[in-house]
């Protein structure tokens, strides 16, 4: 295990140089617009060197890496301040879902370009009329000959403006309701009938998008699972979303926390006993987050993701939002003013604004609490 971690560390040190030296730290929440082309080139370099899709089976281009090795990679990647991945939705979400539910033909078609960083994906789940109530999907698809025809709207679609493909949860059985009659479709983005409209966020950037499907088409074979089984496939994807990379994410959180502490010391905010108490509490909760993540990883290694992953999402998103509020507090009045025109934000201001989204996307905190109550604690529905 130490040898593997050393190998990762050495490779990153060697290759985050030359043309990629300035890629360090690019991207991340609220900054996905940064250096897209160089990050895409970096993604392809990772793929060529065998550093993508580590946990995938070797026959599909992975390394059959253990969960501990995957955690080590993500931790070292974060410590090296390597650029934010542009292919993480493909590698971390749709890739594992195709491995579990896809046909051999689908695996041959879709997995290699994901591993090589050649095709990017986005997630077509949330809708304007459904919000976090994913079972209320209204986007519809019907089979016409050898093609699915898709009509509807998705929203808060991360990175849709740069994606080649979208995995879409759509209602394929007329008259069906809630979890019934949904199908999980793989839809090409570059076609007539697909319109992407970026949503300008509080940070001034546009990671999220609206996506409109107006008679968009996809081959009949581009469905994961059987028609009507989309809910089961979609829930498996959500489980993969809380995978090994979360431990690497926490190293980024530690870096943000350290920055907040440094600013608190510089501004004198650290002398305020209430601020000091909030800083100590935040530090303790970050340690608890790691322990919870390790426990979740242990359960994941024993089988497919279960509802306990909702605990991790609820915990880190609420913690991160509080850290954003603390980041504003330690800046004092200066935190209310942009660094320059027209809207030049510093790192802590961006942290505060973007972290407001953390408790909404990937399942809102309210939905996570319902999942924990009903599926983990066995409480009756309210």
Active site residues: 241
245/252 Cα distance (integer angstroms) = 11
Would you list the DSSP string of 227-286?
Answer: TTBHHHHHHHHHHHTTSTHHHHHHHHHHHHHHHHHHHHHHHTGGGSHHHHHHHHHHHHHH
208 touches 157 (CB < 8 A): yes
Residues in the chain: 382
140/95 Cα distance (integer angstroms) = 24
Hey, what are 96's tokens?
Answer: 């594992």
Q: Are strands 147-154 and 194-198 parallel, antiparallel or unpaired?
A: unpaired
Q: For residue 367, what are the contacts with CB-CB under 8 A and spacing of at least 6? A: 132, 133
* Angle between helix 309-331 and 273-301 (nearest 10): 160
22/30 Cα distance (integer angstroms) = 19
Q: Which helix (H) or strand (E) covers residue 37, if one does?
A: helix 36-48
């Amino acid at each position: 295990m130490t040898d593997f971690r050393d190998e990762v560390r050495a490779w990153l040190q060697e290759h985050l140089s030359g043309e990629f030296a300035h890629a360090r730290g690019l991207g991340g929440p609220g900054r996905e617009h940064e250096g897209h082309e160089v990050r895409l080139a970096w993604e392809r370099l990772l793929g060529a060197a065998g550093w993508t899709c580590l946990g995938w089976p070797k026959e599909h281009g992975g390394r059959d890496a253990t969960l501990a090795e995957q955690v080590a990679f993500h931790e070292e990647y974060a410590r090296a301040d390597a650029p934010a991945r542009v292919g993480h939705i493909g590698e971390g979400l749709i890739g594992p879902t195709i491995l579990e539910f896809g046909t051999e033909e689908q695996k041959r078609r879709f997995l290699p370009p994901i591993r090589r960083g050649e095709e990017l994906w986005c997630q077509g789940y949330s809708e304007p009329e459904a919000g976090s109530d994913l079972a209320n999907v209204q986007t519809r698809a019907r089979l016409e000959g050898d093609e699915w025809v898709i009509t509807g709207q998705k929203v808060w679609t991360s990175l849709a403006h740069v994606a080649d493909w979208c995995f879409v949860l759509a209602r394929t059985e007329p008259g069906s309701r809630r979890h019934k009659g949904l199908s999980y479709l793989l839809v090409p983005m570059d076609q007539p009938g697909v319109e992407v409209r970026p949503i300008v966020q509080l940070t001034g950037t546009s990671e999220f998008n609206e996506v409109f499907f107006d008679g968009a088409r996809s081959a009949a074979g581009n469905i994961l699972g059987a028609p009507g089984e989309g809910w089961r496939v979609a829930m498996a994807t959500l489980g993969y979303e809380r995978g090994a990379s979360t431990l690497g994410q926490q190293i980024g959180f530690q870096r943000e926390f350290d920055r907040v502490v440094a600013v608190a010391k510089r501004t004198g905010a650290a002398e305020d006993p209430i601020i000091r108490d909030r800083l100590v509490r935040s530090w303790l909760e970050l340690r608890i987050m790691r322990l919870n993540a390790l426990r979740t990883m242990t359960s994941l290694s024993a089988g497919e993701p279960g509802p306990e992953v909702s605990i991790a999402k609820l915990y880190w998103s609420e913690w991160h939002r509080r850290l954003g509020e603390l980041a504003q507090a330690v800046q004092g009045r200066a935190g209310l003013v942009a660094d320059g025109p027209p809207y030049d934000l510093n790192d802590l201001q961006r942290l505060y604004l973007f972290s407001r989204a953390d408790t909404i996307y990937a399942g809102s905190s309210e939905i996570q609490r319902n999942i924990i109550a009903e599926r983990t604690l066995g409480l009756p529905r309210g």
